[in-house]
Homo-oligomer: A and B are copies of this chain.
Amino acid sequence: MHGKKPDIDRVFHALGDPTRRAILEKLSEGPMSVSRLAEPLAVTLAAVVQHLQVLEESGLVQTEKLGRVRTCQIAPGGLSVAAQWIGDRRTLWERCLDRLGELLAEPDERRLDVPTGGRPKGE
């Protein structure tokens, strides 16, 4: 209730980069090694590794190294954090829309005196 959520920061920052989202898209096809991830990506392997660090610290991706190959996959809860934040804002906003709708839906009782033509300003 009163707690901060520093995860949110990291998650949205991570999602803010197109290359990182591309990595997530690829990973949503299934687990994959670092070099296979890098293959279609127009950046060096080193860059991909750096992105993976960000993604892992944000909780969006899990990795495990076996032998010389590190296998990456999407982490269970990661995207939920972002999804929930967005969901919350949307419901709040829609509730706000509803209130507006209620007002506009009762022109009889409220006697909104909207002049038929000619607004104070604009267009």
- A: residues with CB less than 8 A from B are 8-9, 12-13, 15-18, 21, 24-25, 27-30, 64, 66-67, 74, 79-80, 82-83, 85-90, 92-93, 96, 120-122
On chain B, the residues within 8 Å of A120 by CB distance are: 66
Nearest to A30 among chain B residues (CB) is B96
Per the bound structure, the CA–CA distance linking A85 and B24 in Å amounts to 11
Q: How far is the CB of A15 from chain B (nearest CB, A)?
A: 5
* Chain copies in the assembled complex: 2
Nearest to A74 among chain B residues (CB) is B93
Nearest to A122 among chain B residues (CB) is B66
Known: A9-B18, A28-B92, A121-B67. A83 touches B74 (CB 8 A): no
On chain B, the residues within 8 Å of A12 by CB distance are: 12, 15-16, 21
